[in-house]
Amino acid sequence: MKLYIIIASFLFAQISIGQEQPKDDTTKVWSLEDCINYAIAHNISVKDASLNTNLAEVDYSKAKSSRLPNLFGSASQSFSNGNTIDPITSSYVTDQIHSTNVGINSSVTLFKGNQINNQIEQNKILLEQSAFLEEEAKNSIVISLLENYLQALFSKEDIAIAESNLEASKTEVLRAKARLDAGTIALSDYTEAQSQTATNQYNLIAAKNNYQQYIIDLKQLLELTPMDDLEIESIDENMDLINLELDKISIYNNALNYLPEIEASKLNVAAKEKELDIAKGGYSPTLSLSGSVGSGYTSINDNTFSDQFDVNFNQKLGLSLTIPIFNRNETKSAVQSATINIEKAEIQKQITEKILYKKVETAYQNALSAQEQIIAAEASKEASEQSYKLAQKKYELGDLSTTDLVISQNTFTNAQQNYLQAKYLNILYHQLLQFYQGNDIKL
């Protein structure tokens, strides 16, 4: 089994070396703030949300234009033979007729159950909602960036731990070889040291692979190409940890007043209420004003083309009233659907608030847990470090077996990783709670 680990480690090492590329000294180092600013400008999810806002703006402009009168021009040329009616004079004739008609007509809706005004107001609400949904998309990218950025930093520090363990293992192999040659240890102790070195080599490769995976995730959030290099900036080791000055209810109330998805859900209810007003407008009559001007020419008239256009010039102006009597319950169904949609929007609003409360409470409880974890993890790390240093000295003096040294090293490694995890969880939940209160995310 130990031999298999050594062989696997060697193969992974060769693959890793083959994949390594020379580092560019001019590679930009990205801070979290750099990532956030760049992603907001380039991420396709944010761009898609922005286009939805643009569409809502177009719809709002279109709704406002529905108040205006329309204007159409028309022209026609016709030929008829035999018994027919002259389209210009309306006379009954038996002849070949060439006729020309031109005109301009316009109409405007004066009243339609206030549907036009309600449609305009609804589209205005939907435009405001789209703006909040765009902000929600930006916030979602910011949170994803924060999580992936911290995970990448964790993996980066995990690489340093793995490298340190590998160097220590290599030194221990040399010592074990010297002791084996001196006849003070058995061959099994020496192979145990070699096995631990191979395991640490494998762990280093795995740590580097984890780091690259998080870098790939960050690149996708930033919309960078696979050819682009991405190096992230380390954070201040002395940055303050979580200080929970507010209770979770206060944080939740702040989030209700700040987060755009809450406002978007409220506007969704308002939009559905306007939809009901529009549907009820279908019960009201529609009053329209129309007008037209036109003229024409016919071949059976002896007057010239221009004279006929002067004589046949006409103007029309009229009002039309349409009263709904029975439209197969379409209006009734629209009102019922709109009423149901209002209830659905209210439920969706409650679901959004419920999800937010769960996020806040989860972050708050995890923050409290992380505070306790980091204290315990730091104490464990310091104790296991001292224990490992003592084990190394005993091993040098021949008072400790290789197996016990390996156990001590693994215990120290686990303690280091637990401390790193607690450290970055503290940072993550601190930033999340700051975010829910409307504060900027900064590392």
The 10s digit of each residue's pLDDT in 219-247 is 999 999 988 999 999 887 655 555 566 78
Strand order in the sheet with 70-80: 70-80, 97-112, 286-298, 314-322
What are the backbone dihedrals phi and psi of residue 327, each rounded to the nearest 5 degrees, phi first? -120, 40
Other Cβ atoms less than 10 A from the Cβ of 30: the count is: 19
What tokens appear for 23 in the block? 């580092």
Token code pair at residue 332: 């009734």
Q: Predicted confidence band at 160 (pLDDT cuts at 50, 70, 90)? A: very high
The answer to the question of residue 29 being in a domain is yes
- Spatial separation of the C-alpha atoms in residues 185 and 190, rounded to whole Å: 8
Residue 292 has pLDDT above 90, yes or no: yes
Rounded Cα distance between 335 and 340, Å, is 9
Is residue 343 in a domain? yes
Contact 235, 427 (CB under 8 A): yes
Task: Report yes or no on 30 lying in a domain.
Answer: yes
Q: Does residue 130 fall inside a structural domain?
A: yes
Closest C-alpha among 233, 31, 150, 152 to residue 429? 150
Q: 344, 388, 367: which is closest to 430 by C-alpha?
A: 367
The phi, psi pair for 232, rounded to 5°, reads -100, 155
Where is 11: in which H helix or E strand? helix 2-19
- Give the residue carrying structure tokens 């940072």: 427
Predicted confidence (pLDDT) at residue 23 exceeds the cutoff of 50: no
Banded model confidence at residue 26, pLDDT cuts 50, 70, 90 = low
SS3 per-residue string spanning 408-437: HHHHHHHHHHHHHHHHHHHHHHHHHHHHHC
What is residue 110's three-state secondary structure? strand
Put simply, whether the predicted model's pTM sits higher than 0.75 gets the answer yes
Which one-letter amino acid corresponds to residue 307? D
Per-residue pLDDT tens digits for 170-189: 999 998 898 888 888 889 88
Residue 28's contacts (CB-CB under 8 Å, 6 or more residues apart) are 34, 229, 231
Write out pLDDT tens, residues 71-111. 999 999 988 877 777 666 777 777 788 889 999 999 999 99
Q: Please say if the pLDDT value at position 17 is more than 60.
A: no
* Residue 60 maps to a domain: no
- pLDDT tens-digit readout, 36-56: 999 999 999 999 999 999 999
What percent helix, strand, coil does the chain show, rounded to 5? Answer: 70, 15, 20
In which domain, by residue range, is 122 found?
Answer: 2-17+25-42+113-284+324-436
Mean pLDDT value of segment 316-338 = 96
Instruction: Assess if residue 53 is contained within a domain.
Output: no
CB atoms within 10 A of CB 404: 13
Report the CATH number that the domain containing residue 189 is assigned in CATH. 1.20.1600.10
27/397: higher pLDDT: 397
Structurally, how many domains does the chain consist of?
A: 1
